[in-house]
């Protein structure tokens, strides 16, 4: 079987994994050289470009993660079994072990997830975009929605995803709920009566929560019913909670967390099935009183099962997949946190993301450990890197990566972009051809035969979830030029003329 591609490249996006220690070291060296040889204006431009590649927001769901970069792009990794990531409409990849850049998204200023696979993004122009596993946009359980604009929602200042609906807050105080028709996938947008000057819009299950200027907690419910209609619980106030400056619900068990005006952390519980009255949505109520957590700490951010102090330290609130409750070792200078069902993320001041906890689906941003699938201490996720082929961004639903200091790229995507071909023989050897040169991979891909010579190849992960990977070193042997910019996080591949 021979597969041959024309040298045509669709404008696109991808990522490469690189150990952060290597990237920082190489970046420092590059910066030192640039400062000695380049004009000050060029150095400023380079610094600004590098800053745009750092992450500024993180979110975590049930076995998956996503992050927003300063340049307005969105990257995702972890489980894709049910189409959570939004990288392929017809899902063929069960998980992704490194950040991969989502297509069709630019100028995004904030992202959110319902924890169950639906993600939304707010764009700088006030439009709302959605992707992943979305009720009404799936013809089959494993199908995924690629990023797309929510038709009919404009002027938004915040947006969240619920189990089967989305909620957006407009700049004029208007509140919008949208769902999707099961038969057509068309967005059904409904205006909620009243105006609301809310902040800190978050979600859990079929409910969204927000704060007003006085720090009062509000709640709104919405969901798609089995007959295709949309049920909405009009916004109402939760009582029995002190004035807050941040809230965070837990996706399970009705647990909620908040930070009061003095920086104290609290938690409280909503009544079981509080959002429902029989089979209908209904207002919730608080059980008992809010309880203070670690009153000795001044808290900046709180999420389900973890908090961030104003000093930049992270604390877990209960014994979990990463160990006992208490201050997390190995982290400092943290500015933001996120928690999934069984894993945690932290974002430091340099824009670097750290992950730990359960990693059965690569949700911590690293390859699953061989023993028990657990990452017990925070480690940096693999670096998100743009891959260019002949000067254009490469679109691929699976990222390139670096193992043991050697870069590998998805074979099919790269050969398609650069105009090469490959064929698989009966003995499972793979012949890769570019221009007039052919390399045959043998012995499991550890060696390649080129022009009658056997060449040892760098040791890389050769396949992930059915995606064949080839080392960049092999592409060089085929006559393809490759350059790596550690400071900007860019891998550039250029074909022969």
**Residue whose token pair is 């399970």:** 252
- Give the architecture (CATH level 2) of 50-380: 7 Propeller (2.130)
Each of the 497 residues of the chain gets a pLDDT tens digit; together they read 444 333 332 222 233 333 322 232 333 333 333 344 445 556 666 777 888 899 999 999 999 999 999 999 999 999 999 999 999 998 878 999 999 999 999 999 999 999 999 999 999 999 999 999 999 998 888 999 999 999 999 999 999 999 999 999 999 999 999 999 988 999 999 999 999 999 889 998 888 999 999 999 999 988 888 787 888 888 999 888 999 999 998 755 578 999 999 999 999 988 755 454 445 666 677 888 899 999 999 999 999 899 999 999 999 998 876 678 899 999 999 999 999 989 999 999 999 999 999 999 999 998 887 778 899 999 999 888 899 999 999 989 999 888 888 888 999 999 999 999 999 898 888 999 999 999 998 767 788 999 888 988 887 777 777 788 889 999 999 999 999 988 888 999 999 87
Tell me what pLDDT residue 11 has: 28
Residue 68: Cβ within 10 Å count: 22
| Residue showing tokens 């902040």 | 199
| Domain residue limits, the chain | 50-380, 386-495
Is residue 412 a contact partner of residue 1, using CB atoms and an 8 Å limit?
Answer: no
Q: Provide the pLDDT for residue 49.
A: 80
CA-angle at 245, arms to 244 and 251, nearest 5°? 80
Largest CA distance in the chain: 78
List the Cα angle 408/414/417 in 5-degree steps. Answer: 160
The CATH number given to 386-495 is 3.30.457.10
Strands (E), 359-480: 374-380, 386-389, 392-393, 401-403, 406-410, 421-424, 430-434, 437-442, 447-450, 453-456, 463-464, 467-471
**Closest C-alpha among 362, 351, 322 to residue 84:** 362
DSSP at 292: E
DSSP, collapsed to helix, strand or coil, labels residue 88 as coil
């Amino acid at each position: 079987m021979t597969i041959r591609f024309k040298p045509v490249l669709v404008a696109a996006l991808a990522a490469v994994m690189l150990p952060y220690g290597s990237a920082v070291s190489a970046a420092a060296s590059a910066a030192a050289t640039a400062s000695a040889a380049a004009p000050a204006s060029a150095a400023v431009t380079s610094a600004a470009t590098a800053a745009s590649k750092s992450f500024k927001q993180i979110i975590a769901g049930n076995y998956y993660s996503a992050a927003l970069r300063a340049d307005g792009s969105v990257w995702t990794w972890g489980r894709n079994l049910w189409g959570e990531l939004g990288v392929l409409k017809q899902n063929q990849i069960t998980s992704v072990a490194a950040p991969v850049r989502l297509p069709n998204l630019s100028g995004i200023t904030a992202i959110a997830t319902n924890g169950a696979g639906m993600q939304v993004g707010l764009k700088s122009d006030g439009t709302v975009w959605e992707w992943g596993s979305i009720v009404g946009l799936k013809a089959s359980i494993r199908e995924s929605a690629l990023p797309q604009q929510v038709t009919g929602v404009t002027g938004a200042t915040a947006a969240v995803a619920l189990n089967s609906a989305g909620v957006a807050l407009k700049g004029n105080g208007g509140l919008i709920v949208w769902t999707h028709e099961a038969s057509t996938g068309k967005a059904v947008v409904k205006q909620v009566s009243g105006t609301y000057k809310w902040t800190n819009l978050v979600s859990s299950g079929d409910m969204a929560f927000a704060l007003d200027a006085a720090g009062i907690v509000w709640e709104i419910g919405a969901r798609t019913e089995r007959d295709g209609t949309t049920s909405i619980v009009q916004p109402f106030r939760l009582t029995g909670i002190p004035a807050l400056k941040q809230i965070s619900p837990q996706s399970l068990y009705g647990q909620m967390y908040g930070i009061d005006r003095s920086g104290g952390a609290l938690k409280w519980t909503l009544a079981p099935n509080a959002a429902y009255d029989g089979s209908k949505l209904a207002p919730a109520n608080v059980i008992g009183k809010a309880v203070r957590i670690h009153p000795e700490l001044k808290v900046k951010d709180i999420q389900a099962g973890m908090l961030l102090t104003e000093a930049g330290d992270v604390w877990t609130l209960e014994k979990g997949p990463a160990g006992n409750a208490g201050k997390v070792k190995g982290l400092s200078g943290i500015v933001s946190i996120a928690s999934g069902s069984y894993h945690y993320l932290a974002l430091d001041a340099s824009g670097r993301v750290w992950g730990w906890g359960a990693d059965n689906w690569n949700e911590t941003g690293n390859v699953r450990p061989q023993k028990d699938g657990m990452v017990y201490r925070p480690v940096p996720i693999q670096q998100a890197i743009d891959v260019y082929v002949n000067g254009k961004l490469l679109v691929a639903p699976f990222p390139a990566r670096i193992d043991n200091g050697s870069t590998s790229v998805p074979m099919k995507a790269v050969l398609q972009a650069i105009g090469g071909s490959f064929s698989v023989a009966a003995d499972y050897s793979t012949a890769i051809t570019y221009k007039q040169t052919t390399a045959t991979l043998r012995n499991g891909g550890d060696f390649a035969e080129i022009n009658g010579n056997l060449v040892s190849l760098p040791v890389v992960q050769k396949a992930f979830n059915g995606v064949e990977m080839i080392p960049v070193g092999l592409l060089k042997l085929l006559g393809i030029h490759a350059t790596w910019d550690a400071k900007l996080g860019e891998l550039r591949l250029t074909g022969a003329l």
